[in-house]
Amino acid sequence: MNREYWHKQSADKPLYPDLLWSRPENQTTAGKLLIMGGNQYGFVAPSEAFKAAEAAGAGTVRMILPNSLKQFVGPVFEAGSLAPSTASGSFSKAALDEWYDQSAWADGVLLAGDFGRNSETATLLESYLSKHTGQVTITQDAADYILSHPKPVLNRPNTMLVITLAQLQKISSGANYEKAFTLGMDLMHLVDNLHEFTLRVPVNIVVKHHDQLVVGVNGQISTTQLNQDKEIWRVQTAAHSAVWWLQNPLKSFESITTAIFELD
């Protein structure tokens, strides 16, 4: 079988070197990323995403955290803003206006995770994703909120999912996709299934398979083998991919693939 849609990238040779050479040269043209996440009991994911986005070359990075974290970040949060939270410390529905206002400023948004499990936060995420039309990258437990009812997100343009194979399995099952993504599948079958799946839905997908990071965009697939001493976390991958994507919005596949190559 001729798999012309499968592009293999090695750890020391990028598929799209021109993108590496044509990166924005100053902060004002390097794009603006908004990161949202965290709850009263943790905000490691948005904090790690913030550092990774700056390392990836974003021009400006801001965060929105729930105001339940005020005691940890102080009354004046220089890295961004604090939005209303529930009694349990997660984002509340009242945070929606702040999310919209800040998203209008940004070129891309990263839902970085550590949202916790809260029904009101689920409603907030659903409302936000149904109305905001800009680029949104979803990872970690933010993706868990869409597992049971994934179709609205899968049909949303300008969306990227950086997820585990287990999450992809549940999302495709919830979307009634007839070919299963299984935890024991080999790389070739994952590539073939992801090729067909991303021809049907407009989302960009990044998933890890053993020592490979796999990117799927509109039927095109890239795989990048990771160095043995390189451990990739979803949050770091999502942050790098979000930055490269917002800097190259018309070259989604190429930019996300190149972001994978550039991961530290």
CATH of the domain at 243: 3.40.1190.20
User: Quick one: pLDDT at residue 34?
Assistant: 98
In a domain, 218, yes or no: yes
What pLDDT band is residue 75 in, cutting at 50, 70 and 90?
low
In a domain, 204, yes or no: yes
Percent of the chain scoring above 70 in pLDDT: 96
CA angle (133, 137, 138) in 5-degree steps: 115
How far apart are the C-alpha atoms of 22 and 61, rounded to whole Å? 21
Give me 257's structure tokens. 């693939």
Asked whether the predicted pLDDT for residue 78 surpasses 60, the reply is yes
How far apart are the C-alpha atoms of 235 and 247, rounded to whole Å? 18
Asked whether the predicted pLDDT for residue 46 surpasses 80, the reply is yes
Number of domains present in the structure of the chain: 1
Crossing angle of helices 96-105 and 119-131, in 10° steps, is: 40
Question: What single letter denotes the amino acid at residue 88?
Answer: S
Please write the tens of the pLDDT for every residue from 114-169.
999 999 999 999 999 999 999 999 999 999 999 988 999 999 999 999 999 999 99
How far apart are the C-alpha atoms of 262 and 58, rounded to whole Å? 13
In a domain, 32, yes or no: yes
Give me 147's structure tokens. 């597992």
In a domain, 207, yes or no: yes
Q: What is the mean pLDDT of residues 251-256?
A: 98
- 10 secondary structure, DSSP code: B
Token match 């990258």: residue? 137
Asked whether the predicted pLDDT for residue 73 surpasses 90, the reply is no
How far apart are the C-alpha atoms of 60 and 243, rounded to whole Å? 10
Write the CA distances from 196 to 28, 46, 103, 149, 179, integer angstroms: 38, 32, 31, 20, 9
In a domain, 1, yes or no: no
Distance of CA 190 to the CA centre of its chain: 20
In a domain, 256, yes or no: yes
In a domain, 127, yes or no: yes
What pLDDT band is residue 231 in, cutting at 50, 70 and 90?
low
What pLDDT band is residue 104 in, cutting at 50, 70 and 90?
very high
In a domain, 123, yes or no: yes
Question: pTM for this one?
Answer: 0.95
User: Quick one: pLDDT at residue 230?
Assistant: 54
Asked whether the predicted pLDDT for residue 229 surpasses 60, the reply is no
How far apart are the C-alpha atoms of 162 and 183, rounded to whole Å? 16
How far apart are the C-alpha atoms of 135 and 133, rounded to whole Å? 7
Asked whether the predicted pLDDT for residue 74 surpasses 80, the reply is no
The whole domain housing 171 covers: 6-262
How far apart are the C-alpha atoms of 253 and 115, rounded to whole Å? 28
